[in-house]
Amino acid sequence: MLQSSENAYGVKSTSAANPNSLNPVKTVSAPVEQATIGRSLVIKGEVSGTESLYIDGRIEGKISLPENRLTIGRNGSVQANITAREVVVMGKVTGNIECTDRVDIRSEGQVTGDVSTMRISVEDGAVLKGGIQVRSGEHKQPQPQTKAPETKPAAVEMPKALAATASA
């Protein structure tokens, strides 16, 4: 008589000694769309796009990836102003970096230029020559706060005006 090696759930058991041992479930995630500029490539001009970019070659000019991540690999060399959501530096960057989220300069990374970001991480051994501006997430909220003090002096001036007319 033949018996199936499947349990009640339709899963084949892998071991007779341990019927509950199952292979781990592999979760399927969306592939990360990332372009790569290889070690032997040299680009002079403007690079822009809507996907993440890994640079292991050399770029001179301007890089604009406002909604994406830019990674400069260990062999990467960038002489450009950079605009991106996130920048990871493991190679060399000469130019200003404007980030909407974070800049991560790894231990072997070198940055010469100004950095403007919300978060920054500089590992031991990294080189950073230039200015750093760390913006807060509440950068857009001071405008309503400035309106509130403006209304208070007007309210204070009203009684002064009334007092002046009352004493005259």
Mean pLDDT for the stretch of residues 72-89: 97
For residue 42, pLDDT beyond 60? yes
For residue 145, pLDDT beyond 80? no
Cβ(34)–Cβ(52) under 8 Å?
A: yes
d(CA 41, CA 52): 17
Cβ(69)–Cβ(82) under 8 Å?
A: no
Q: What predicted TM-score, i.e. pTM, was given to this entire model? A: 0.64
Residue 120, token pair as written in the block: 């920054």
Q: What is the dihedral of CA 6, 11, 12, 15, to 10 degrees?
A: -110
For residue 54, pLDDT beyond 90? yes
Q: Pick the residue with more confidence: 150 or 101?
A: 101
